[in-house]
Structure 1
Amino acid sequence: MFIDHIHEMFNTVGVPNWVDWFGRPVATIFFFLSVEGFIHTRNQKRYMTRLLIGFWVMQIGNMIIQHFFPMGDFALINNIFGDLFIGVLTMYGIQQISEGRKRHQQGKVWGGILAIAIPFIFGAITLVAVTAIGSHAVWAKLIMLLPSPFIAENSFMLYLGPLMYLVRKKRSWQMLAVVALAIISTGFNFSTLFTGNFQWLMFLAIIPMYFYNGQLGRSMKGFFYAFYPLHIWILYLLAWFMGVGH
């Protein structure tokens, strides 16, 4: 992840494209771990709240940094917390629908449908607002605090998480889903595998997925929540001070 973000910030000053290869499996691993986290957490709502707060903090931080330290046309869109929040919220919706159907509780079913629909509702609000008032208006900036797949770092690819949740009882199916999406990400243009779009390298995530034993390791969530935004902001500021994009 760190190496990938070095490429993102400094690719215009000579960091080679092959450096980007290292980061392609990272988001997929995060999505897989979000499934595990959602399944095993003691408090699902607290888990979602933590991700939402992480999204807000990083979104606001990105806006502030880019306002005071603009770097040409470069847009600081990194915010995996938004992707993870939408994915986990969707998993929660799927769970509510399943439980509601089993217990014949229509309220739960409709609540689950609403949970799945909320990011799309937010996305529609964002698109309409930005079209109407422009992307640089203050209200447009505030609307960008609504998590949706339209502004997510990985766009609709974030739904790989909920897909892996649906087949969570079969690790082989989860890995097959990753491989299938990796193939789709090539656009079936295999002539540029190592010269253009490297997203297909996300399939390498199946290696740690295969060896994952399902056991809880050392908790590093506090470190991750801090390290993820801080290292991106530091690399961005370093690039700004070096004159990248000026």
Structure 2
Amino acid sequence: MSEQITKNRFLSFSTFDIKVIGLVLMVIDHFHQTFTPLGAPGWLDWFGRPVATLFFFTTVVGFSYTHSKKAYMIRLYISMAVMAILMNLTQQIIGFEQVQLINNIFRDLFIGTIFMAGVDQSEKVKQGQKGKHIALGILLFLVPFLLSLIMMPLLGSAGSMSAGKSLFMQLLLALNPAILLAENGLMVLLIPVLYIFRNVRWAQLLSIAVVALIYGLMGMTQWMMIFAIIPIALYSGAKGRGMKYFFYIFYPAHIIILYAIAAWLY
């Protein structure tokens, strides 16, 4: 992504602005998710379709410019595990069986950083030790898929597990960055594509449009992710306000609050 900040533009967005847009749309989407048993209209779900793409984009920007990619990945991994545990505990404590909480965008974003780390290795080939970087890059790309293969037989036998084994399974699921468990599935592969084209905005927008077209041809409302190209096209390159940890806290907090209110009203 170009460091140059677009100036004198009638309308432009910083990284912070795009995150806020994503959060607002996400709240509407999760309101639909948790209040569906109370009659929330289905069209509210449409607002959430661009959300993952917006956060994919801001993660690409964050990973590109962070001072420590290792620390960035660790932060997302911890958030992924904590989020999974919180969602499981929330369901057990509140017991609102009409709504299942499988939300964990942090897992998608962490898997995306694994792929981006793989891209980094491929780009280091020119620096020497070609075999090492190619092998490590391929391995990083395979990790989320290999973990999925390991998880498949375990998931198949989850229903017959004892309480102790079931608890172990929940912990294993919380700690596992398998693409099989990703909230957005194979759509997570859009992250390394956006990263490869991080310095070519039109290619990023085209990539998003192609994925949206595929979903449209499949008859899925996820094609509405195409609307994410509007704020991304108007991205100025500026970071904007900080509040980094606000997003990490707000995501699980608002889901738990909406879930609890919906359960109480139901």
TM-score under structure 1 length normalisation: 0.90
> For residue 19 of structure 2, what is the aligned residue in structure 1?
none
Identity of aligned residues (%): 41
Residue 26 of structure 1: CA displacement? 1.0
Kept in 1: contact 2:37–2:98 (CA 8 A): no
Matched, 1:237 2:260: yes
Matched, 1:148 2:178: yes
> For residue 58 of structure 1, what is the aligned residue in structure 2?
83
Once residues 218 and 232 of structure 1 are traced to their aligned partners in structure 2, the CA distance between those partners, rounded to angstroms, is 24
Residue 139 of structure 1: CA displacement? 2.7
Kept in 1: contact 2:116–2:192 (CA 8 A): yes
Residue 188 of structure 1: CA displacement? 4.3
| Residue 177 (structure 1) aligned to one of 164, 187, 207 | 207
Which residue identity is paired with 1:224?
Answer: F
| Residue 84 (structure 1) aligned to one of 97, 106, 109 | 109
Once residues 133 and 24 of structure 1 are traced to their aligned partners in structure 2, the CA distance between those partners, rounded to angstroms, is 31
Once residues 46 and 214 of structure 1 are traced to their aligned partners in structure 2, the CA distance between those partners, rounded to angstroms, is 22
Unpaired segments ≥5 residues, structure 1: 190-196
Which residue identity is paired with 1:119?
Answer: P
Residue 13 of structure 1: CA displacement? 1.7
> For residue 194 of structure 1, what is the aligned residue in structure 2?
none
Once residues 131 and 20 of structure 1 are traced to their aligned partners in structure 2, the CA distance between those partners, rounded to angstroms, is 30
Q: Which moved further from structure 2: 141-150 or 34-43?
A: 141-150
- Say which structure, 1 or 2, has more relative contact order (CA 8 Å, 6+ apart): 2
Once residues 132 and 24 of structure 1 are traced to their aligned partners in structure 2, the CA distance between those partners, rounded to angstroms, is 32
| Residue 74 (structure 2) aligned to one of 42, 49, 62 | 49
Kept in 1: contact 2:38–2:262 (CA 8 A): no
Matched, 1:99 2:129: no
Which residue identity is paired with 2:167?
Answer: V
Residue 228 of structure 1: CA displacement? 0.5
> For residue 11 of structure 2, what is the aligned residue in structure 1?
none
Once residues 135 and 118 of structure 1 are traced to their aligned partners in structure 2, the CA distance between those partners, rounded to angstroms, is 28
Return closer, same or farther for 1:134/1:206 CA change in 2, 3 Å cut-off: same
Q: Work out the number of aligned pairs and report it.
A: 236
Residue 101 of structure 1: CA displacement? 4.9
TM-score under structure 2 length normalisation: 0.84
Once residues 171 and 160 of structure 2 are traced to their aligned partners in structure 1, the CA distance between those partners, rounded to angstroms, is 10
Residue 217 of structure 1: CA displacement? 1.1
> For residue 167 of structure 2, what is the aligned residue in structure 1?
138
After superposition, the C-alpha distances for 1:42-64 in whole angstroms (9 at most, x for unaligned) are 10010000000000000000111
After superposition, the C-alpha distances for 1:80-119 in whole angstroms (9 at most, x for unaligned) are 0000000011001111122035423422322222222211
| Residue 237 (structure 2) aligned to one of 214, 218, 224 | 214
Which residue identity is paired with 1:212?
Answer: Y
Residue 168 of structure 1: CA displacement? 1.8
Once residues 204 and 96 of structure 1 are traced to their aligned partners in structure 2, the CA distance between those partners, rounded to angstroms, is 32
Which residue identity is paired with 1:161?
Answer: I
Residue 133 of structure 1: CA displacement? 4.4
Once residues 39 and 3 of structure 1 are traced to their aligned partners in structure 2, the CA distance between those partners, rounded to angstroms, is 29
Once residues 204 and 220 of structure 1 are traced to their aligned partners in structure 2, the CA distance between those partners, rounded to angstroms, is 25
Once residues 91 and 182 of structure 2 are traced to their aligned partners in structure 1, the CA distance between those partners, rounded to angstroms, is 18
Unpaired segments ≥5 residues, structure 2: 1-25
Return closer, same or farther for 1:36/1:101 CA change in 2, 3 Å cut-off: same
Where does structure 1 differ by over 3 angstroms across 4 or more consecutive aligned residues?
132-136
